[in-house]
Amino acid sequence: MKNILNKAIIALLIFAFTACGDFEDLNVNPNKPVSVDTETLLTSAMREVGERVLSNTRIGPIYAQHIGNITYTDDDRYQAVQSDFSGWYTGPLADLERIIELNTDVATKDAASKSGSNANQIAAARILKAYFFNILTDLWGPMPYSEALKGGEGLLTPAYDSQSAIYEALFTELQDAVAQMDGGAGVSGDFIFGGDMAEWAKFANTIRMNMAIRAADANETLAKAQYLDAIADGVIDADLMYPFLPEANNENPWFSEFRTRTDFAITEMMVNDMSSTADPRLAHYADPTGNSVAAGNPVIVGVPYGLSTPSTQPPNVSFPNSTFVKAQDAPLAIFTLAQVNFAKAEAAARGWTNDNAEDLYKAGIKASWDQWSVSYDNAAFDSYYNQAAIQWNSAKWDELIGYQKWVALFGQGFEAWTEWRRLDYPALIIPEDPLSPSGGIPLRLIYPTNEANLNGANYETAVGLLGGPDSDGTRLWWDTK
C-alpha cells in the first residue's frame, strides 16, 4: 500500500510541475486534465480522506471536546464556525467526477480501463463521492448536490438540495454503485482497499448503515429500511483505518501539529470522565504530563476547555498519545467495528431487529478496546462494565450509546461531533466566552460569505431549506432533539 501511495504522490507532483509550464495552458481546467491516469485521480481523492477529513484538527475534535487548545483558545470558543467548503468541490469531488467522465466517454473509456474495469472505477468513484457528500451535508446542512460539479457545462452557481433530499439520493447512489460492480479488474491507485471491490462494497454498505442510524429520528421508515438492507448486504468486518506513512508527504496530522509546537492537549472533561470509570483507553489516548513523568509519578491531566485566558501550560497537561495517536505513521479510523456494533445495538434498542441490544453494546465497547490495543481479560472488562454509569439500561440507551460513542470516536473528530449533535450525550461544556453567534456549542457550520455574495439566490433558497437562520445554532434535518 505504501508503494502505491508513494508512486501516486510522485505522479501528482510530476503533473503539477508539467501542467504549469506554458502560458498557453492557462485556459486549461486544472481539475479536468486530459492526460492524467484515473488511478492518479483516485489516489488524489483518497488522500483527501486523510488530509481533509481525519486531518481536521480545528473543528471536529475541538467541537467534540476531545481536544482543547492550551494557549490559543479561539477555536475552542468557535471562532471558525463559518467555514468554506469550496475546496471539497474543486478537490476530491472534482477528481472523482473526472474519473466517472473518463470511464464513461467513448473516446476515453478504453484508455481509462487500464486502471480497472470501467464499471468498477465508476462504482468506486461514486462511493467515495457519496462519502464526501455525506460529510459535507452533515457539517453544513443543505448543500449543492444535484447541480454540483457541472462547471464544465457552464453551471457555475449550483442550486442547493435539502439535507433530506441529499440523504435519499446518497442511499440510492450507494446501492446503485455496488450493483454496477462487475467481475472485471479492480481499481488501481487504491491504497486503502488494494483494489478489492468486495471491500469497496462493504465500505458503501457501512456508509449507508451509518447514515440510516443518523436519520432514524427524522425519517424512521426510510432509515430502518436502509439500515436493514445495508446490514444484509454486508458491512465492514474489521476496523477500516487510513494508512499514514512514516514520512512527511503523508504523515499523521497530529504528528504534524506537534512537529514544532505543543498547542493541543486532551480535555479535562474527557480525562475526568474516563478516569472516574477507570477506562483503560485513556492511557492509549494521552501521554502523562511531562512534569509528572520527571517526578517519577506519571499522571494524565486534561486541559480546561475554552478558557478565554488560559492558565495551564506544558508540561502540566497531557498531549495525545505518542504511540497510538500522534506517531508519524499512526493510522486513524475511517469506520470501526465499534461503530458497527453500536449501530446494531441502537437498531435493536429501537426495535428494528430482534438482536440483543446489551450484547451488541458490550461488543461495541470491546471492539473499541481492541482498536486501541487495550489488553484485558473477562474480569477486567466486567469490572469496567458493571459500573452503574456503564452497564446497559434499555430505558436510557441513547445516553449510554451516546457516551460510549463519544469515547470510542476519539481520533474521528467530525464523526464524534456529529454523533454528539444527534444524541446529545454526554453533556459538553459551554466556553466561558463563546465566539459563536449562537453563544453555544455549534450545531452546524455557517455557510461561507462568498456563497451569499456570488450565489445569492441559491443561498437564500438554502437558508429556507435549512428551516432556520444561517447560524451555528440551527439544527440539521436529522437533529430532532
* Per-residue pLDDT reduced to its tens digit, 398-457: 999 999 999 999 999 999 999 999 999 999 999 989 999 999 999 999 999 999 999 999
Q: What are phi and psi of 160, to 5 degrees?
A: -95, 150
pLDDT value, residue 24: 37
Better-predicted residue by pLDDT, 33 or 116: 116
Does 26 score more than 80 pLDDT? no
Segment 54-58 shows an average pLDDT of 90
CA 101, 103, 104, 105 dihedral sign is positive
Q: Please provide residue 334's backbone torsions phi and psi, each rounded to the nearest 5 degrees.
A: -95, -55
What percent of the chain stands above pLDDT 70? 93
Provide CB contacts within 8 A for 98, sequence distance 6+: 31, 32, 33, 38, 41
Percent of the chain past pLDDT 90, that is, above it, reads 88
Confidence of residue 310 (pLDDT cuts 50, 70, 90): confident
Please say if the pLDDT value at position 328 is more than 80. Answer: yes
Is the confidence at residue 32, as pLDDT, over 90? no
Q: Once rounded to an integer, what is the mean pLDDT over residues 258-270?
A: 95
How long a stretch of residues is the chain? 481
What is the reported pLDDT for 29? Answer: 54
Q: How confident is the model at residue 7 (pLDDT cuts 50, 70, 90)?
A: low
**Least confident interval from 31-45, 93-107, 121-135, 365-379:** 31-45
CB atoms within 10 A of CB 67: 32
Residue 429 burial (CB < 10 Å; 0-12/13-18/19+)? Answer: middle
How distant is the alpha carbon of residue 367 from its chain centre?
19
Tell me the whole-structure pTM to 2 decimals.
0.93
pLDDT score for 154: 81
The CA distance from 110 to 131, in Å, is: 27
Average pLDDT over residues 16-35: 43
Q: Which of 268, 236, 430 is nearest to 338 (CA)?
A: 236
The reported pLDDT for the residue numbered 19 is 36
| Secondary structure, 3-state, the chain | CHHHHHHHHHHHHHHHHHHCCCHHHCCCCCCCCCCCCHHHHHHHHHHHHHHHHHCCCCCHHHHCCCEEECCCCCCCCCHHHECCCHHHHHHHHHHHHHHHHHHHCCCCHHHHHHHCCHHHHHHHHHHHHHHHHHHHHHHHCCEECCCCCCHHHCCCCCCEECHHHHHHHHHHHHHHHHHCCCCCCCCCCCCCCCCCHHHHHHHHHHHHHHHHHHCCCCCHHHHHHHHHHHHHHCCCCCCEEECCCCCHHHCCHHHHHCCCCCCEEEEHHHHHHHHHCCCCCHHHHECCCHHHHHCCCCCCCCECCCCCCCCCCCCCCCCECCCCCCCCCCCEEEECHHHHHHHHHHHHHCCCCCCCHHHHHHHHHHHHHHHCCCCCCHHHHHHHHCCCCCCCCHHHHHHHHHHHHHHHCCCCHHHHHHHHHHHCCCCCCCCCCCCCCCCCCCCCCECCHHHHHHCHHHHHHHHHHHCCCCCCCCCCCCCCC
Task: Using alpha carbons, select from 358, 378, 470, 434 the residue that is nearest to residue 62.
Answer: 434
pLDDT of residue 168 exceeding 60, the answer is yes
Q: Please calculate the CA angle 391-397-398 and round it to the nearest 5 degrees.
A: 125
pLDDT surpasses 80 at 5: no
As a whole number, mean pLDDT of residues 228-244 equals: 98
Q: What is the pLDDT of residue 152?
A: 81
- Alpha carbons within 13 angstroms on the beta-carbon side of residue 218 total 18
- Judged against a pLDDT cut of 60, whether residue 355 lies above it is answered with yes
Confidence of residue 129 (pLDDT cuts 50, 70, 90): very high
Q: How confident is the model at residue 153 (pLDDT cuts 50, 70, 90)?
A: confident
What pLDDT does 218 receive?
Answer: 98
| pLDDT on residue 4 | 56
Q: Is the pLDDT of residue 22 over 50?
A: no
Please state, in angstroms and rounded to a whole number, the distance separating the CA atoms of residues 406 and 267.
Answer: 13
pLDDT tens sequence across 89-105: 999 999 999 999 999 99
Which pLDDT score, from 0 to 100, does residue 36 have?
A: 67
Please, which pLDDT band fits residue 121 given cuts at 50, 70 and 90?
Answer: very high
Residue 323 — very low, low, confident or very high, per pLDDT cuts 50/70/90?
very high
Dist CA 190 CA 244 (whole Å): 14
Judged against a pLDDT cut of 60, whether residue 3 lies above it is answered with: no
Question: Given pLDDT bands bounded at 50, 70 and 90, which one contains residue 2?
Answer: low
Residues contacting 168, CB < 8 A, separation 6+: 222
Owner of C-alpha cell 467541537: 63
